[in-house]
Amino acid sequence: MAEVYLNHLTKRFGKNVVAVNDLNLQVHDREFLVLLGPSGCGKTTTMRMIAGLEEVTEGTIFLGDREITDLPPRKRNVSMVFQNYAVWPHMTVYDNIAYPLRLKKMSKQEIDKIVKDVAEMTSIGELLDRYPTQLSGGQQQRVAVTRAIAVYPEVFLMDEPLSNLDAKLRVAMRTELKAIHAKTEATTIFVTHDQSEAMSVADRIVIMREGEIEQMGTPEEVYDNSANMFVADFIGTPPTNFFDGEIRRANGTLHVVNPRFDMALSPENAALLQAYGKRDLVIGVRPENILLVDEADALLSTDVLVVEPQGSHQVISFEFANKIVKIVAPTHPPVSAGDRIHIDFNQRSLHFFDPQTTQAIDRPESG
């Protein structure tokens, strides 16, 4: 296997469209790296440049110590799994997997051994004599993954491979892909716009916007220490709630004041904001960190707008400053629309942002 190095990678379409802008990234050996972001952020274009399917405008791509920037796809030793599976309908599963091996002029005995070994690894051994039309979407996706594994690439590329599956099958396939990665130990780059998918499979996540990297880190790092409001809003389901606030000092204690609440800061948060130097800020509170409390302990009280029961928890919504705020709360006690609730924030898990730069206050502005 090998590391991948993207050095000042840029892709322009025409004169005015910059799809990827001066991107620098190192993918570690045997890592499962996810490129995550909204549609049009440049993640698929980045992957296609690594695969050799898109020409690089500027910059270089290295696979280990070998530059592959201008090599044709067949000479890069990478395999790619596409969104639409791309299995050949006129070939059996066996022949689909064997096809790239035959192009390498391998012997029948070698091909047979590899096909059966990788089919066993991906749990499709019993499907080898079937045609794609006889398979479910999930089985077709496993065939595409197996075919990519069969050539034992240095890098394994996956472009939204689960997006055509139904919700239940997508969750199951996430687990299977992670298990296959553990078996093959292939360096893997996975593209998705689904943040819950990214959180569940990634060793590291690279969050992109408008062709640039906003933040990279482990799922825990980008969730617990979001670099800016975009990342905090993009990562998490439901997304982060944002509240405008103003820093004030009263009786020797720092407070964050909003027209509807006055929150005395914990010593840790007061120390964090002591050196901020500005008055206005934005508080980011994840839905699970808004707590239902007794009225006497409440930061604010409000009426419930909507409740969405989820079995293991309930999502409670209320209106605040013309926005919808969501809380993830235990199922008991149950809450109904129109109920009066009393809430507080878990101060150990608050995020603070500069409203002008949108950067996290405890991070440098470059993110």
CATH superfamily of 4-234: P-loop containing nucleotide triphosphate hydrolases (3.40.50.300)
Domain boundaries, the chain: 4-234, 241-353
Which pLDDT belongs to residue 184? Answer: 84
Q: Supply the pTM of this predicted model.
A: 0.88
CATH superfamily of 241-353: Nucleic acid-binding proteins (2.40.50.140)
pLDDT at 365: 44
Domains 4-234 and 241-353 in one fold: no
pLDDT score, position 215 = 97
Residue 246's pLDDT is what?
96
Place of tokens 């096809």: 99
Degrees to nearest 5, angle at CA 27 with 26 and 31: 155
pLDDT at 1: 56
| pLDDT given for residue 367 in this prediction | 37
Q: pLDDT tens digits for the chain (367 residues)?
A: 589 999 999 999 988 899 999 999 999 999 999 999 999 999 999 999 999 999 999 999 999 999 999 999 989 999 988 877 678 899 999 999 999 899 888 999 999 999 999 998 888 999 999 999 999 888 888 898 899 888 888 999 999 888 877 888 888 888 888 888 888 888 999 999 999 999 999 999 999 999 999 999 999 999 999 999 999 999 988 999 999 999 999 888 999 999 999 999 999 999 999 889 899 999 999 999 999 999 999 999 999 999 999 999 999 999 999 999 999 999 998 999 999 999 999 999 999 999 999 999 975 443 3
